Amino acid sequence: MRLGVPKELREGERRVAATPDSVKKLTAMGFRVAVERGAGSESGFTDDTYETAGARLADAKTVWGDCDVVIKVRPPKNAEIALLREGATFVAIIQPERDDIITERLAERKASVVALERIPRLTRAQKMDVLSSMANLAGYRAVVEAATNYQGFFGPQVTAAGTMPPARVLVIGAGVVGLAAIAAARALGAEVRAFDTRSATKEQVESLGAKFLTVSIDEEGEGGGGYAKEMSPAFIEAEMALFRQQATEVDVIVTTALVPGKKAPVLLPEEIVRKMKRGSVVVDLAAEHGGNCSLCVPGQTVQAGGVTIVGVTDLASRMGASASRLFANNVVQVLAEMGAGDKWKIDRENDVIRPALLIHSGEVLPRPKPRAPSPSQPAVIVPKDEPAMSIRPRDAPEAHAHPAQTKIQSPTRRAWGTTAGGLIVLAVLFGLGRFAPSDFLQHSTVFILACFIGWQVIWSVTPALHTPLMSVTNAISGIIILGGMLQISTSFDAASVLGALAALFAAINVAGGFLVTDRMLRMFRRDS
């Protein structure tokens, strides 16, 4: 299979669909890779490194026209589609809903087209999910952009010249982007609060060390497919009141709110931006979809009343090298899912590839119904099956960590149990004392006292020595050797033989137990 990697044409796009590392993997998978000259230069990958990695350098015409598979980042331009070899497979972000005729044009080329943004959010497909990996970058970069435009420290400073408080950052929307932004802002030392309509995100927000803001109205914002839905007017009113109040307090606002298929909701109208302190920064990650801030200009950084509003649309591209690496890895995984070079097959039954398969050999396929998300899963813009675990593990809930345990060890219950048990033992002893021979009572006394001593002594044994403890008790329970010895009488009878046998087995215990304990204890040594 020949695989082509063209250069991205769109202005400002630094990413490339394959890196030298991914070329190595693709070559190993059985692809013969052709890379357009200069394809990776914007991201810092020179032509030489591609060549060393096993790629052939070619011009655009060869890359598009001579390859069985073409991989790319951005949707193709008309000129590019025209170059595409008939019947080839094309893998890229397509976004057909933004461009009515792109599907038609690609279908004309009899191509098979995989739209990367439509890879479903299955756990299995997580490694192929370009949206998540790009969103992660964007969230991080948004905070870096905010810090660049903000004129203060993010983290608190204590210097001889005075003490600086930390910057206060509000992140609206806690999907992958929002969570990445929270993590980045926290890492810079800022005090972070976050808001999301989906209460399931609370735990994730808090696990990253941010404060989760809530409104008094109880309404669940969980929509389908891991995104939020539009909220009721009453809720939006309460939300606005919250933002209005927060605007006066915070230094930086990062907005990430998107509702699928709709224009981004306006969360920061002009009146709220006016309330912000001079020198504050708003980073609007929804700029490409109309913006969460009404003053936002997509692709530009503007000033309004002393507030800087950053409306960048190419955050992922600004981190060209890292973005390319992640994107290229995602693409490698997609191609591997499709059978790689040797077992290449466009499988319409494959539950990962099918939803992304826009066109199959020129036939435009209907979009399959998305699978209903399981209601128990908290919805975030991360893959469906494990969002909670992927964010939460660093801070599992302490509060209910050992509930069942406390049930068993409840001190009052234990106290009652001990008391009741003690009373029963006492009653039995009194009963025995009335009838039993004194000899027996004397032995019972010794027995019970010895039990108590053992109980007191053993609890102080360190768990590390439990094995030696067991072997030493093995040895001393070999004291039953006395029983065997006492049974051997001078009249050579059955009892003597049994006694001798008992002594033999007990002697194994005594010798074995003590010696192995000694052997073990010699091994324990302190760190020198």
Between strands 363-364 and 357-360, the pairing is: antiparallel
Q: Of 159 and 405, which CB lies nearer to other proteins in the complex structure? A: 405
- The minimum distance between CB 483 and other proteins, in angstroms, equals 4
Show the site string, 257-286: x = touches other proteins by CB under 8 A, - = not: ------------------------------
Query: Which residue in 246, 273, 251, 281 sits closest to 165, CA to CA?
Result: 251
Q: Of 372 and 389, which CB lies nearer to other proteins in the complex structure? A: 389
Choice from 349, 400, 412, 434 touching other proteins (CB under 8 A)? 400
Query: First vs last Cα of the chain: how many Å apart?
Result: 60
DSSP 76-137: PPHHHHHHSPTT-EEEE---TTT-TTHHHHHHHTT-EEEEGGG----STTGGG-HHHHHHHH
* Radius of gyration for the alpha carbons in the chain, expressed in angstroms and rounded: 36
Element (H, E) at 257: none
In sequence order, the β-bridge partners of residue 293 are 268
Of the ranges 39-47, 104-112, 297-305, 520-528, which one interacts with other proteins (CB under 8 A)? 520-528
The answer to whether 252 and 280 have CB atoms below 8 angstroms apart is yes
| HSE-up (13 A, CA, CB side) for residue 384 | 19
Of the ranges 153-161, 291-299, 300-308, 517-525, which one interacts with other proteins (CB under 8 A)? 517-525
Q: 25 to 54, contacts with other proteins by CB under 8 A? A: none
Choice from 242, 365, 429, 516 touching other proteins (CB under 8 A)? 516
Q: 368 to 387, contacts with other proteins by CB under 8 A? A: 385-386
Choice from 11, 342, 404, 411 touching other proteins (CB under 8 A)? 404
Q: Which residues are catalytic?
A: 121, 126, 129, 132, 227
Q: 457 to 496, contacts with other proteins by CB under 8 A? A: 457-496
Q: 422 to 461, contacts with other proteins by CB under 8 A? A: 435-437, 439-440, 443, 446-448, 450-451, 453-455, 457-461
Handedness of CA 40, 45, 48, 52 (dihedral sign): negative
Q: Of 234 and 501, which CB lies nearer to other proteins in the complex structure? A: 501
- The minimum distance between CB 355 and other proteins, in angstroms, equals 18
Show the site string, 98-127: x = touches other proteins by CB under 8 A, - = not: -------------------------xx-xx
C-alpha to C-alpha distance for 287 and 309, rounded to whole angstroms: 10
Distances (CA, A) of 70 to 63, 90, 126: 8, 5, 22
Q: Of 241 and 420, which CB lies nearer to other proteins in the complex structure? A: 420
Q: Of 292 and 471, which CB lies nearer to other proteins in the complex structure? A: 471
Choice from 11, 405, 412, 434 touching other proteins (CB under 8 A)? 405
Choice from 394, 411, 412, 430 touching other proteins (CB under 8 A)? 394
DSSP 173-213: --SHHHHHHHHHHHHTT-EEEEE-S-GGGHHHHHHTT-EEE
C-alpha to C-alpha distance for 17 and 323, rounded to whole angstroms: 9
Q: Of 65 and 512, which CB lies nearer to other proteins in the complex structure? A: 512
DSSP-based three-state secondary structure for 30: coil
Q: Of 240 and 469, which CB lies nearer to other proteins in the complex structure? A: 469
Query: Which residue in 296, 199, 218, 201 sits closest to 253, CA to CA?
Result: 296
Distances (CA, A) of 98 to 37, 103, 171, 360: 29, 11, 27, 20
C-alpha to C-alpha distance for 287 and 294, rounded to whole angstroms: 10
Please provide residue 74's backbone torsions phi and psi, each rounded to the nearest 5 degrees.
Answer: -80, 165
Our finding on whether 515 is near other proteins (CB under 8 A) is yes
- The minimum distance between CB 505 and other proteins, in angstroms, equals 4
Show the site string, 175-214: x = touches other proteins by CB under 8 A, - = not: ----------------------------------------
- The minimum distance between CB 328 and other proteins, in angstroms, equals 18
